[in-house]
Structure 1
Amino acid sequence: MSSLQRDAAAFKNTLQSVNTKTWHSSQASSSQAPLPPPSTPAPEAPSQEHNGKKKKRPKTNIVYSQPADTGTGTDVNTQLLYAVNHLKSSAGPMRLQDIAIITGTPLDTDAVLLEKFKAHDRVEHDPKTNLYSFRHDFSFRNKAALLTEIQRATRRGGGLSVRTLKESWKEAPAAIEELEKDNEVYVTRTLKDGQMRMVFWNEVKPDRVDLEAVGEGGQKGFLVETEFNDLWHKLKVPNDVDLLKELASEGLQATAAEQVVPKAPAKKKGKKSGARNRPAKLTNTHLRDMGIDLSKDYVAPGK
């Protein structure tokens, strides 16, 4: 018997020894076993739309590199600045407790802050009323006193800043405009928006008005004496040649008119200049030494 036949006989014996009935019964019992119940999903939470309330989203525009706004802060100098600036903007004297409450500073409880506040050069304390006020540069409260301060500054050779006057008296700009209409002061303004900048006293005022000197814009002028009018009209302007001679005799020179520099012609875009006729550069110079001229046409013999 060959080895192949022996292997086939051994395989048949193995199949016969297997109990197929018990195997089929175990398969049938496993198929009839009840399956576990499916897992029920968890009940969903009621939607926000049904409740009528929207959930607040967290803020995403927070800049963590910037310090949080803590009001007046904890530094003594910062708190002092807040207190002095509020006292400066107030219309009149204030109590210490009111300043502390409005500015949110421990001005009435912090001894160091209170000492710095009292020692400030712009803070004035009235011991009789126990009130504090800001010391401005000026103490006027009417138009006449304002004009006196402007006159005093102009006599010293300068004007006054309108901003400084407004800090001392809030009605100062309106009073300055009235004084300007009455020709009492001169006002300089900014070129951009025409805001008042400096104010000066008008020292020269017209006592007599010449009706003939009234211009087209309604501006009044001063009465000029007849002697000066005659001298003015007797003046004669020389012609151009004599004028240059007169200037040269006095060591002067006529101002030259500004010469307009001619602009270069604009180049047209999109057009290129034509190719220039440049001489050809010969690189084969060694042929010239051999007696061969490449600029000539050579014809083969017999043609």
Structure 2
Amino acid sequence: MSKLAKDAAAFKSTLQRQDFTSWHSQPKPATSTAGTSSAGGGLAIAGEPSSSSAPHKKKRPKTNIVYSQPADTGTGNNVNTQLVYAVNHLKSTHNPMRVQDLAIVTNTPLDTDSVLLEKFRAHDKIQYDPKTDLYSYKHEFAFRNKAALLTEIQRQTRKGGGISVRALKESWKEAPQAIEELEKEGEVLVTRTVKDGQLRMVFWNEIKPTEEAGGMQVEKEFLDLWHTLKVPNDVDLLKQLASEGLQATSSETVAPKAPTAKKKGKRGGAPRQRPVRITNTHLKGDLDLSRDYAAHAKS
């Protein structure tokens, strides 16, 4: 027996004396005592699986499917859901479209489903032109330039109110930029949100910023003086008014109604008769107003 074989036999006997009870699995028993050399010159023990022949565990594919929710089918299968997709897309294009093109873009059976097409045509915001066979969205305002926008703002301001910038943007995408230009020119007045300063409402500026007509911006010195003024609290304000011989105005107080006391006894008793004030004095000579004619007629 060669030295290499002796070393292999000694190594194998050492493995058999080990206690594998704490291992998760027992090693396979050796079936042969002969060792063979690997292709790389290393020693391979019979019965021990080599790294090249070890089976690889297949990893379980990760899935992000949530079975408690319905699958995303794009535009959906419901007729009303598909109608919303089609109407919203036509609203965002600002251009008339054919029903075939709209069906392809929105991935809806608008050109094949008769029920969906009928609902689409009956929508109050959809306008159909039979001459061109095109569909368009009815926007609240119809303007496509800065001058027409100013005319619409003037019309709404004369009625007593402003216009929402969001509604103007839905009719014309460039409306916010045009409104900012009109604001710099002094043609409109704009209100903005407190949080991020976005355009909110727009009004027509009837007083143009000229020295003759007024409407000029107040000088910064007076603005700073105005903002430095502090309104005193209620106690100090009353003291200052009293020192000047003035009184604070108070709102009209409503006199409390006297509580109505309920009489103990029978319910639904006879109503109390109150004396009647006679006002038809011009009939006093011809007619006895104190007499109850209805009671005498029944008797």
Q: For each residue in 1:127-159, what CA deviation from the matched residue of structure 2 results, as whole angstroms up to 9, or x when unmatched?
A: 111111111001101111111111111111111
Map of 1:58 onto structure 2: 61
SS of equivalent to 1:87: helix
1:44 deviates by: 3.5
1:206 deviates by: 3.6
For residues 95 and 45 of structure 1, do their structure 2 counterparts lie closer, same or farther at Cα, with a shift above 3 Å needed?
farther
Q: What is the alpha-carbon distance in structure 2 between the residues aligned to residue 189 and residue 213 of structure 1?
A: 18
Q: If each structure's helix is expressed as a fraction of its own residues, which one has the higher value?
A: 1
Map of 1:244 onto structure 2: 244
For residues 132 and 172 of structure 1, do their structure 2 counterparts lie closer, same or farther at Cα, with a shift above 3 Å needed?
same
1:63 deviates by: 1.7
Who wins on radius of gyration, i.e. which is larger? 1
Aligned identity (percent) is: 66
Map of 1:130 onto structure 2: 133
1:70 deviates by: 0.8
Which one-letter code corresponds to 1:244 in the other structure?
A: E
Q: For each residue in 1:157-187, what CA deviation from the matched residue of structure 2 results, as whole angstroms up to 9, or x when unmatched?
A: 1110000000000010000001101111110
Preserved contact between residue 94 and residue 137 of structure 2 (Cα < 8 Å): no
* Pairs aligned (count): 189
Q: Where in structure 1 do 4 or more consecutive aligned residues deviate above 4 Å?
A: 37-43, 45-48, 239-243
Q: What is the alpha-carbon distance in structure 2 between the residues aligned to residue 118 and residue 181 of structure 1?
A: 43
Preserved contact between residue 186 and residue 209 of structure 2 (Cα < 8 Å): no
Map of 1:192 onto structure 2: 195
The alignment's C-alpha RMSD in Å is 3.3
Indicate which of 70, 84, 88 corresponds to 2:87.
84
1:207 deviates by: 3.6
SS of equivalent to 2:244: helix
Map of 2:71 onto structure 1: 68
For residues 120 and 252 of structure 1, do their structure 2 counterparts lie closer, same or farther at Cα, with a shift above 3 Å needed?
closer
TM-score normalised by structure 2 residue count: 0.56
Matched, 1:146 2:176: no
Q: Which runs of 5+ in 2 are unaligned?
A: 1-30, 33-45, 224-238, 251-299
Map of 2:234 onto structure 1: none
Matched, 1:204 2:213: no
Matched, 1:44 2:53: yes
Map of 1:216 onto structure 2: 220
Q: What is the alpha-carbon distance in structure 1 between the residues aligned to residue 186 and residue 217 of structure 2?
A: 17
Q: What is the alpha-carbon distance in structure 2 between the residues aligned to residue 79 and residue 187 of structure 1?
A: 38
1:59 deviates by: 2.2
Which one-letter code corresponds to 1:104 in the other structure?
A: N
Indicate which of 93, 103, 107 corresponds to 1:104.
107
For residues 103 and 252 of structure 1, do their structure 2 counterparts lie closer, same or farther at Cα, with a shift above 3 Å needed?
closer
For residues 131 and 206 of structure 1, do their structure 2 counterparts lie closer, same or farther at Cα, with a shift above 3 Å needed?
same
